[in-house]
Structure 1
Amino acid sequence: MTVTLDEIKKREKGLSIINKKIQSTGIDSLIDLTGLAGGFDVTPGDISLLETYAGPAVFDERIQKLGIEHLGGSKVLPLNRTTSGIAATIITLVKPHTTIVHYLPKKPGHPSIPRTAKLVNANYVEYSSLDEFMVDDNTSLVFITGTTMDHEVIDVDEFKKVIQIAKDNDLLVFVDDASGARVRRAVYNQPTAIDLGADLSVTSTDKMMEGPRGGLMAGSAELINRIKLTVNEYGWEAQAPLVAAMVKALEKYSPDDIRDAFIQKDELYDKLVAKNLNPLKTPTGFMFKEDEIKLQLEKMGLVCDVPSDIIATVYSMILLENYNVITIPAVGMPGASKTIRLDWSAKDSSKLSMDELVDAIYNTFAECKDVIENNQIDDVLYG
């Protein structure tokens, strides 16, 4: 997806709605079900250490122990974004005119990979079928996505097979395990990417855990040290406050919350179906892809030629404005998926009952239809 100024303006509108709600009813009135709520849980004692040299001296040692336990490997590297780790790895390991090969459960992959490939003048190819997957003498790096942006999880046998093909061809394997480091492992009981044979793995410290928006990469000390040089060169390292919050998130993380949501999501799904809605199950909740949102509105009598991604964003804005429920299209970074995904493992799910959530989802469809029919899209997205 091409990021445009229009995308930025929509996000600014979503954030302005949130700000107004915080000012009027307080932050506890918001219900963040994105699965990206994150957290910045630091104590007064931690804050006293958030200095240029004291922070790294204390927190780097703790993040190494906890990060290796979480991801495997022999060394971890805290980053200011997962994207930073992906970009730094490609810059470090990929030569111009070679090919990055990416295997994932369903296309497309995260845009940071092809964008950085273009930056270093490398080719980029995606596969989502083992029958089609291939590498050749010009391949420089193999990427695997453990769990897609819409929480579709790679089959562990496919995971192993792709790694084996890469190893048979003496290729390094990098796993984009942004949410997969939790979803794959907690729900599907899969090993860490490193234990499956990958050379490098990166995860987002705010996805499915109460950590800050940042990244954590794991691998061998030799590879991590090489990539760390690039990270430092570009200023992509996580500063002491981020690392402190990552430490707290890893200390607090429990897979039980994700497993409980995995069980409860079936009840939630049944309630939505009873309302004649057609969601897709995710490991810890449900989602409506943008085409499905438009199709649902057409079933309700809507006739329009508005693109489905715009409709999904309108839906997300209404859900936020009228019901305080935060979903990604209203506030996600430009270029993010327009799927309405609701994560029942999010800590804010305790703020409402299943029936209250189902009613909000159902009512928003009718309200979205009215907005489109009354030509109020611009008011909702930018007004």
Structure 2
Amino acid sequence: MLEDPVNEVKRREHALRIIGEKMKKHGRDGIYDLTGLSGGFPLEEEDLDLIETYVGPAIFEERLQEAGREHMGGEMIAAFNRTSSAILAAVLALTEPGSTVFHYLPELPSHPSVPGSTELASAGYQETEDFTEKPPLDTSLVVVTGSTMDHRVVEESDLVRVIEMAHDAGIPVLVDDASGARLRTVLYGQRRACDLGADLAVTSTDKLMHGPRGGLMAGRTDLIEKVKSKAYQFGLEAQPPLVAAMVRALEKFEPSEIRDAIKRKEEFLRDFKGPEVEETPTGFIIKSSSLEDLQGSGYGGDEISTALSMILLSEHGIVTIPAVGMPGASKTLRFDLAARDAGRIEISFLREAIYDAIKLVSGFINDDEKMRRLILG
């Protein structure tokens, strides 16, 4: 069902309609966003008159450079309307048609933005979990994922090895640190990617922090300038309101909120008697393979996870990525307890909601029409 990209759009729009309906009935307090991607737009009253097309950059650019370098390291900062936009601009700027983009990940597969950008640049694409494998001779850009969509975090020693290996071959390195810029540093004590020698690093300002959905890139001045030039060419750069909100979010970032997630996770797991779960740095995931009662229904893991996610949303107001994520996003049922709403949801309520979702989906897993209406509306 979800292999069709059109159905992916229908699935997401159906979930957003459910959120809209619940907001009308219960207000924002009836929604618990546990995606870890809820972000925010933390503008101050004084910012509103300064977010014009030309005034905004003049006011916020210097603060963006200062706050961005503190968060990411590097020589220069650039802001984009999404992390995917930053990756696209970098691939277009730094690769030659016919060359290879070689991608290292702690766990396959890649976020679709990397192979998709490579295709648009008319370059070849290869990905690997083997951090000892050397990139092909025709490689023009090495990409390393710092933390995967399901929060698998790269070892710092592996990251350093790849950076040194690429530099020995004269290849620039881009670290896709969408959530890793905070997971790796705050919870794992790793150094910032640019401090490890990465030429470029990009993070999402809405992942594990309360900023807007946008991309923040740091790195070498000469490369940032090339990437910015390509971004301006295709309208990939962040506009003034987004830049202002990024600045505010960076200035207000508080690492302790991520650390508090560990306590919530321990409380949840202590009394959970449902299917097997796997811990993530800031929460947990439920593997579809552990949902034994739902197996053999003819549906794959993506559909099962999405069905559960839709029940959690429609019946309990709990937002997870399989319901609302962009087409191509991971369908793993992940609960991020570093999310802002996690601080106001009762752990017992979350446990019971998961039990209820499993029970309800089990009741009509073999009814194709009900499953289709549940997922697609």
TM-score for both structures, normalised by structure 1: 0.95
1:214 CA drift (Å): 0.6
Match of 1:58 in 2: 59
Q: Distance in 2 between matches of 1:289 and 1:146?
A: 22
4+ long deviations beyond 6 Å: none
Residues 69-113 of structure 1: CA deviation (Å, up to 9, x unaligned): 000011100100101111111111100111111111001111111
Q: CA offsets per residue over residues 268-306 of structure 1, 9 Å max, x none?
A: 22322xx142111000100123444xx3334xxx64111
Confirm or deny: 8 A CA contact 1:2 1:335 kept in the other structure: no
> 2:7 aligns to what?
6
1:298-341 CA-to-partner distances (Å, cap 9, x unmatched) read 4xxx6411122111111100000001000001111111110111
Quick check: 1:296 aligned with 2:289?
no
Residue in 2 aligned with 1:315? 308
Matches within 5 A, 1:202-241: 202-241=202-241
Structure 2 partner of 1:46: 47
Which secondary structure does the structure 1 equivalent of 2:365 belong to?
helix
Indicate conservation of the 8 Å contact 1:31/1:325, yes or no: yes
For 2:346, the equivalent position in structure 1 comes to 353
Q: Determine the C-alpha separation between the residues in 2 that align with 1:230 and 1:290.
A: 41
- Paired with 2:221 and 2:256, the residues of 1 have a C-alpha distance of 31
CA deviations 1:120-161 (Å, max 9, x no partner) are: 221111111234x11232111111000000000001111111
The equivalences for 1:269-348 within 5 A come to: 269-272=269-272, 275-292=273-290, 295-298=291-294, 303-348=296-341
Q: Distance in 2 between matches of 1:283 and 1:54?
A: 40
Give the SS at the match of 2:127. strand
Task: Give the 3-state SS of the residue equivalent to 1:174 in structure 2.
Answer: strand
CA distance in 1, matches of 2:334, 2:250: 24
CA contact (8 A) 2:261 2:338 kept: yes
Task: Say what the alpha-carbon RMSD is for the aligned residues.
Answer: 1.4
1:97 aligns with 2:98: yes
What is the rounded CA distance, in whole Å, between the counterparts of 2:3 and 2:362 in structure 1? 27
CA positional deviation for 1:170: 1.2
Q: How does 1:86-165 map to 2 (within 5 A)?
A: 86-131=87-132, 133-165=133-165
Tell me, what secondary structure is at the counterpart of 1:329?
Answer: helix
Structure 2 letter corresponding to 1:297: D
Question: How far apart are the structure 2 equivalents of 1:62 and 1:3?
Answer: 43
Percent identical pairs in the alignment equals: 46
1:253 matched to 2:249? The reply is no
Cα drift, residue 53 of structure 1: 1.1
Q: Which amino acid aligns with 2:279?
A: K
Q: Quote how far apart the aligned CAs of 1:258 are.
A: 0.8
Q: How does 1:195-206 map to 2 (within 5 A)?
A: 195-206=195-206
Secondary structure of 2:195 counterpart: coil
**Letter in structure 1 aligned against 2:186:** A
C-alpha distance in 2, partners of 1:286/1:176?
22
1:76 partner SS: strand
Cross-structure match for 1:380: 374
The secondary structure found in structure 2 opposite 1:78 is strand
Q: Which runs of no fewer than 5 residues in structure 1 stay unpaired? A: none
CA–CA separation in structure 2 for the residues paired with 1:173 and 1:279: 34
State the AA in 2 paired with 1:289: K
- After superposition, the Cα gap between the structure-2 partners of 1:40 and 1:304, relative to the gap in structure 1 and judged at 3 Å, is same
Q: How much has 1:119 moved relative to structure 2?
A: 1.5
Distance 1:22 1:72 in 2: 39
